[in-house]
C-alpha cells in the first residue's frame, strides 16, 4: 500500500500574501487574506516528495464574496482609507470634522475580533455565532449592537446629558483608535462617552478592518419617530419657544453607516449599500442596533423589508407637524412635508470634498413620486400595525392597503387647505457670520403679499439646542410690532450679545431662533425658525519639510483663544495613523484673551502614502476647536 504524505511544515508566505492582499499595514507576521483573491502557500513533506498524478491535495474553501465592490477607487476609499470626514453643523452650515479611523493600526484587528467574541451572540452560542461569521448581514448586526453598551459591555456609553465629568465629552474625540484601545485595555469596559458620530466612526473602523466596505453618512434634520406613524410632532408655546419633553424629535444632524453587501434574504435588487446605525435609539429583535436596511428599499418605501427599514425611512422622509400649545389645547400651525432629511452627506471617493447622496434615499421633495412613496410606506405600516408586527421582527411583504376613513390622526396625512395659506411671510437672515465670542446679528424679514394693510405682533425667542433636537431653556426674548403696507417688505434687526448667550450655550454650539407672528383680528399664526451653529477658527497645521518614512519630521500647530476672556485647562491632542504611534496630548494651561500661539511637534512617520494629521483643543470654555492637515509620506531612499 502506498505511503501517504506527511506534512512537516507549512509556509503561509504571510509577508508576500499580505502585500498582495493589501493587509501588510495590519501585520506581516500572520497570514491575513481577503475574500475572492488567490494566495500562495508552500507545503513541506517529511517522508517523501509530492508526486503529480499520484498524490492529490484537497482544500475545502468557500469563495463567495458577499461584500465585493467592483470599483478599485471605491475599494480604496471604503476599505483601505484610514482617515476621513464626518459632517456636522446644520443644513445651512455643513462642517467637516476630521477623523482618524486607523483600522490598520497595531492591535486593532485583534480588538475587532475580541469585540465579536464579547457579543451576546457568541457568549450564548459560540458554535452558531462562529458558523455565521461568513455572513456580512449577521456580522454587521453583531458589530452594530457591540459598538454601544446598552445591552452588553460594548465599546461606548452614550451620553446626551451635557454632564461628562466622569469621562470625555464626545466632541473631543478625533479618532477611533484611542477609543478601541481604551476599551481593550480596561478589560472591555465601555468608554465614556459617545454620541451618534462617534458610534458611526468607531463602527466604520471595525467594519473596514474586517474587510467590509463602509462609509459614514450624515443626515441633516433627521427624524426620530417613536410611534412609527411617519409624522414628527413639534410643539411650541405662544412665544415661539419649542417645547421639550416630547417623544418625537428632529435631530439637527444624525450620523450612521452604510455597508456594502449582497442581500440574498431580500428580493432581487436590494443589495448594495445598507444602513447600519449603532446609536442606541430603539431596539431591534431585543437589542439596541439598527439595520442592515437597504438604501434602495428606503427610497422605494418598501418598509416591510428587513431590517428596521421603517425607522430609517422616518429618519429621512417623515413629515413634520407643528403645534401651538396654549391654554391646555393644541392648535395645528402647519405641516411640512420636506423639512426632514436634508443634504445627506458622505466624503467623496479619494477626495476631501462632500458628496450629497440625498437622491439615493428619496425622490425629489415636492415631486409626485416622493408623495406616492410616502403614502405606500404609510399603507404598509398601517397593514403591519394591523397584523401586530413589531419593529425589527421578521416581516413578510404586505400588499398595499387603502387608508381607512376612520383611522386615528396619528396615521392620517393631514393636508394644508387653501385657507391655511397665509398672506404674510416671515424669514430670518443673518447679518454677520455667527462666530463664537461675537454678538449674533440677524434680521427678521416680513413681507406682505396681500393688497391690504397688515399689523403684526411677533414673539421672538432664542434657545440652545442639543444636536438630538432637545431644547434648553430660552435665554433671549423680544416682541416686535410691525405694520406692513400692501406688498411691503420690512426688516426688523435683532442682536444677541455674547454675554447673553455664552453661559447658556451647549457643547453643540447650536442656537435656535424662533418667531411666532399673528395678525390683528386673525387667529392664524405664522411660525418661522432658524438654527445657527457658532463656529470657531480652525487649528492650523504646517508640515516643516519633506515627510519620509523613518525620518524625523517637524510639525507646527498654530492655535488661538477666540474669546475675549481667559480660558483655563487648555489641552491639545494630535494624532494621525502612520505618523504617530499614539495620540499626543500637550498641556497648554491658560490662554489669554484672543491669544495666538504655536508649538512644534517632532515625530517619525512609519507608514508611507497619503496620511492625515488630526488636532483638537479643549478648555474650560470650549471643547472642540479642530484642525487637520493631509501629508504625503514618501518611501525612504
Catalytic residues: 196, 254, 277
CA gap 571, 588 in Å, rounded: 6
DSSP states of 134-190: T-HHHHHHHHHHHHB-SSSS-SEEE--SS--TTS--GGG--BSHHHHHHHHHTTSPP
- Beta strand 231-236 pairing with 319-326: parallel
Give the cell for residue 531. Answer: 438654527
Rounded to the nearest 10 degrees, the angle between the axes of helix 177-185 and helix 108-117 is: 60
Q: How crowded is residue 61: how many other Cβ atoms within 10 Å of its Cβ?
A: 4
Nearest by Cα to 222 from 275, 162, 260, 170: 275
Residues ≥6 apart with Cβ < 8 Å to 479:
457, 458, 459, 460
Q: Is 319 annotated as a binding residue?
A: yes
CA gap 616, 538 in Å, rounded: 9
Residue pair 296/385 in contact by the 8 Å Cβ criterion: no
Grid cell 459632517 in the structure block, residue: 87
Q: Is 637 exposed, middle or buried (0-12, 13-18, 19+ CB in 10 A)?
A: exposed
Grid cell 505618523 in the structure block, residue: 579
| Residue 550 backbone zone (phi > 0: left; psi -120 to 50: alpha; other: beta) | left
Q: Is 282 annotated as a binding residue?
A: no
Nearest by Cα to 67 from 259, 209, 215: 259
Grid cell 417645547 in the structure block, residue: 243
In this structure, what are the phi and psi dihedrals at residue 120, rounded to the nearest 5 degrees?
A: -65, -30
Q: Is 365 annotated as a binding residue?
A: yes
In degrees, rounded to 5, the angle at the alpha carbon of residue 292 between the alpha carbons of residues 291 and 298 is 90
Q: Is 519 annotated as a binding residue?
A: no
CA gap 161, 155 in Å, rounded: 19
Binding residues for Ca(2+): 317, 319, 365, 370
Amino acid at each position: 500500500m502506498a505511503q501517504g504524505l506527511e506534512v512537516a511544515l507549512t509556509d503561509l508566505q504571510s509577508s508576500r500574501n499580505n502585500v498582495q492582499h493589501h493587509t501588510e499595514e495590519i501585520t506581516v507576521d500572520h497570514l491575513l487574506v481577503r475574500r475572492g483573491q488567490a494566495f500562495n502557500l508552500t507545503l513541506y513533506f517529511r517522508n517523501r516528495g509530492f508526486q503529480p498524478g499520484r498524490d492529490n491535495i484537497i482544500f475545502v474553501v468557500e469563495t463567495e464574496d458577499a461584500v465585493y465592490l467592483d470599483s478599485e477607487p471605491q475599494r480604496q476609499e471604503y476599505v483601505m482609507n484610514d482617515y476621513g470626514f464626518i459632517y456636522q453643523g446644520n443644513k445651512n452650515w455643513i462642517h467637516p470634522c476630521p477623523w482618524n479611523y486607523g483600522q490598520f493600526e497595531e492591535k486593532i484587528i485583534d480588538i475587532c475580533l475580541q469585540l465579536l467574541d464579547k457579543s451576546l451572540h457568541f457568549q450564548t452560542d459560540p458554535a452558531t455565532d462562529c458558523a455565521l461569521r461568513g455572513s456580512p448581514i449577521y456580522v454587521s448586526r453583531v458589530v452594530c449592537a457591540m459598538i454601544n453598551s446598552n445591552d452588553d459591555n460594548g465599546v461606548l456609553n452614550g451620553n446626551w446629558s451635557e454632564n461628562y465629568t466622569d469621562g470625555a465629552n464626545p466632541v473631543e474625540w478625533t479618532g477611533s483608535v484611542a477609543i478601541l484601545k481604551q476599551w481593550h485595555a480596561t478589560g472591555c469596559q465601555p468608554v465614556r462617552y459617545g454620541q451618534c458620530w462617534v458610534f458611526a466612526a468607531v463602527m466604520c473602523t471595525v467594519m473596514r478592518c474586517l474587510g467590509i466596505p463602509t462609509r459614514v453618512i450624515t443626515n441633516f434634520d433627521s427624524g426620530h419617530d417613536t410611534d412609527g406613524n411617519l409624522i414628527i410632532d413639534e410643539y411650541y408655546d405662544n412665544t415661539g419657544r419649542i417645547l421639550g419633553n416630547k417623544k418625537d424629535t428632529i435631530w439637527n444632524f444624525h450620523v450612521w453607516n452604510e455597508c456594502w453587501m449582497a442581500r440574498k434574504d431580500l428580493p432581487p435588487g436590494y443589495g448594495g449599500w445598507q444602513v447600519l446605525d449603532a446609536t442606541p435609539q430603539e431596539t431591534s429583535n431585543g437589542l439596541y442596533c439598527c439595520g442592515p436596511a437597504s438604501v434602495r428599499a428606503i427610497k422605494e418605501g418598501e418598509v416591510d423589508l428587513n431590517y428596521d427599514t421603517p425607522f430609517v425611512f422616518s429618519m429621512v422622509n417623515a413629515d413634520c407637524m407643528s403645534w401651538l400649545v396654549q391654554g391646555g389645547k393644541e392648535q395645528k400651525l402647519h405641516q411640512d412635508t420636506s423639512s426632514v432629511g436634508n443634504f445627506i452627506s458622505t466624503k467623496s471617493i479619494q477626495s476631501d470634498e462632500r458628496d450629497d447622496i440625498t437622491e439615493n434615499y428619496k425622490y425629489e421633495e415636492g415631486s409626485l413620486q416622493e408623495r406616492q412613496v410616502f403614502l405606500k410606506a404609510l399603507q404598509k405600516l398601517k397593514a403591519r400595525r394591523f397584523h401586530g408586527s413589531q419593529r425589527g421582527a421578521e416581516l413578510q411583504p404586505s400588499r398595499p392597503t387603502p387608508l381607512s376613513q376612520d383611522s386615528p390622526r396619528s396615521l392620517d396625512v393631514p393636508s394644508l387647505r387653501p385657507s391655511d395659506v397665509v398672506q404674510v411671510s416671515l424669514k430670518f437672515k443673518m447679518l454677520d457670520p455667527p462666530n463664537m465670542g461675537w454678538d449674533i446679528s440677524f434680521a427678521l424679514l416680513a413681507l406682505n403679499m396681500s393688497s391690504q394693510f397688515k399689523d403684526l405682533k411677533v414673539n421672538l425667542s432664542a434657545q440652545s439646542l442639543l444636536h438630538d433636537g432637545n431644547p434648553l431653556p430660552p435665554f433671549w426674548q423680544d416682541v416686535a410690532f410691525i405694520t406692513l403696507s400692501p406688498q411691503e417688505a420690512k426688516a426688523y434687526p435683532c442682536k444677541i450679545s455674547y454675554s447673553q448667550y455664552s453661559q447658556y450655550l451647549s457643547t453643540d454650539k447650536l442656537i435656535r431662533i424662533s418667531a411666532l407672528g399673528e395678525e390683528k383680528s386673525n387667529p392664524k399664526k405664522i411660525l418661522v425658525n432658524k438654527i445657527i451653529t457658532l463656529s470657531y477658527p480652525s487649528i492650523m497645521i504646517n508640515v516643516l519639510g519633506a515627510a519620509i518614512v523613518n525620518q524625523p519630521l517637524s510639525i507646527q500647530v498654530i492655535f488661538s483663544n477666540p474669546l475675549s476672556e481667559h480660558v483655563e485647562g487648555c489641552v491639545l491632542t494630535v494624532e494621525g495613523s502612520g505618523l504617530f504611534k499614539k495620540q499626543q496630548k500637550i498641556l497648554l494651561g491658560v490662554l489669554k484673551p484672543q491669544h495666538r500661539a504655536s508649538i512644534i511637534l517632532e515625530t517619525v512617520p512609519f507608514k508611507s502614502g497619503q496620511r492625515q494629521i488630526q488636532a483638537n483643543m479643549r478648555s474650560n470654555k470650549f471643547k472642540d476647536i479642530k484642525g487637520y492637515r493631509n501629508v504625503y509620506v514618501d518611501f525612504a531612499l
